[in-house]
């Protein structure tokens, strides 16, 4: 990594589909930051198994997700891109950090409460311990910045708390990270439920738009998008959540301020406006669809990219883990000397 650049870390779960919301809120920012920061991007496949996954389908989705991330413009020569499960230091550091995180803190986490309510039949320790693994993800790489959505702010705060707690006991060990919160597009809502975030694993196929959806599928979803009875294209989150969501999507992808879009469509009916937004999405993601088709057609090459990313990530992670082990008093592992035996 370049010495004079700050380190940026971010992760995303390879579940469901990668939505345009994921792209606008996170992945598009990743690509833009590669020149400014030392970037490390992880597919958080261990985080995703707190919910039961079908092994065959999960492996297939994770592979597809990796190809999609690369298709969005991540440069593996500039950035480290890898699968979390390929780097054993994540779970090693998680165990150590468990000893510096408190049960009460974990039980108060909003995500734990929400997921426990949704999965009452499977309230496992992974759900409770999820924030500690996330802290390990971030702290392993000495990250200065972590680009996250608004709903992840609490996880950054607990990561900072754990890092400061450890540092106060053992001295300067971890870099205490700051969150980076995009001002536009940080939260893209569903097309059918415009008051709730567009999710990768939404049960309603018309609620989320994948970055690799075919053009006709994208247009159909936007034509069916929920709006209101007012017939006025105006940004108003409380009274017009559907229209506001569509304006946010269009603004984020075109770079046009929302106020200008309101003027441009002042005399347009909702049908015209929704089709215009759909057309912008189709054109914006045309290069992504083409790149994805190229990556996913060569699984062997994808595996090589993932393997190289894991090697680079592990090299950086081991630096931190070794330092942590020494600080807490674990015995150093001696290097093995191979002795040749004459026959």
The CA-based dihedral angle spanning residues 281, 286, 291, 297, taken in that order and rounded to the nearest 10 degrees:
100
Helix (H, G, I), strand (E, B) or coil at 340: coil
Spatial distance between the Cα atoms of 271 and 249, rounded to a whole number of angstroms: 16
**Edge-to-edge strand list for the sheet holding 7-12:** 80-83, 38-43, 7-12, 145-147, 178-180
- Contact in structure between 70 and 40 (CB atoms under 8 Å): no
- Contact in structure between 261 and 314 (CB atoms under 8 Å): no
- Contact in structure between 209 and 16 (CB atoms under 8 Å): no
Selected catalytic residue, list 200, 221, 240, 274: 200
Element (H, E) at 10: strand 7-12
Spatial distance between the Cα atoms of 11 and 24, rounded to a whole number of angstroms: 15
Query: Which residue from 179, 175, 209, 203 is spatially nearest to 191, judged by alpha carbons?
Result: 209
DSSP letter (8 states) at residue 185: S
Selected catalytic residue, list 6, 115, 234, 286: 115
Spatial distance between the Cα atoms of 9 and 141, rounded to a whole number of angstroms: 7
Selected catalytic residue, list 6, 153, 197, 232: 197
Q: Is 115 a catalytic residue?
A: yes
Burial class (CB in 10 A: 0-12, 13-18, 19+), 161: middle
Spatial distance between the Cα atoms of 335 and 300, rounded to a whole number of angstroms: 33
Q: Is 232 a catalytic residue?
A: no
Catalytic residues: 115, 197, 200
């Amino acid at each position: 990594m370049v010495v004079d650049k700050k380190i940026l870390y971010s992760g995303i779960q390879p579940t469901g589909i990668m939505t345009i919301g994921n792209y606008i809120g996170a992945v598009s920012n990743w690509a833009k930051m590669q020149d400014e920061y030392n970037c490390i991007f992880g597919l958080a496949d261990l985080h995703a198994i707190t919910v039961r996954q079908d092994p065959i389908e999960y492996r297939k989705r994770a592979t597809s997700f990796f190809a999609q991330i690369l298709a969005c413009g991540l440069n593996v020569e500039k950035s480290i891109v890898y699968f979390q499960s390929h780097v054993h230091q994540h779970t090693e550091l998680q165990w150590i950090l468990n000893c510096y995180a408190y049960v009460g803190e974990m039980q108060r986490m909003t995500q734990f409460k929400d997921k426990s309510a949704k999965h009452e039949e499977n309230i496992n320790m992974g759900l409770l311990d999820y924030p500690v693994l996330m802290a390990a993800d971030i702290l392993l790489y000495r990250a200065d910045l972590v680009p996250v959505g608004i709903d992840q702010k609490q996880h950054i705060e607990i990561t900072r708390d754990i890092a400061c707690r450890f540092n106060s006991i053992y001295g300067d060990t971890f870099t205490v990270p700051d969150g980076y919160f995009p001002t536009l597009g940080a939260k893209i809502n569903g097309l059918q439920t415009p008051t709730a975030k567009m999710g990768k694993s939404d049960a309603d196929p018309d609620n989320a738009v994948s970055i690799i959806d075919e053009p006709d599928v994208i247009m159909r979803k936007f034509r069916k998008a929920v709006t209101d009875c007012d017939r006025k294209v105006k940004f108003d989150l409380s009274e017009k959540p559907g229209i506001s969501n569509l304006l946010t999507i269009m603004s984020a992808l075109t770079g046009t301020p929302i106020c200008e879009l309101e003027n441009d469509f002042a005399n347009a009916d909702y049908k015209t406006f929704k089709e215009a937004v759909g057309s912008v999405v189709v054109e914006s993601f045309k290069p992504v669809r083409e790149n994805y088709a190229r990556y996913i057609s060569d699984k062997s090459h994808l595996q090589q990219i993932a393997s190289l990313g894991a090697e680079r990530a592990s090299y950086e992670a081991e630096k931190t883990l070794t330092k942590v082990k020494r600080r807490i008093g674990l015995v150093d592992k001696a290097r093995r000397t191979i002795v040749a035996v004459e026959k």
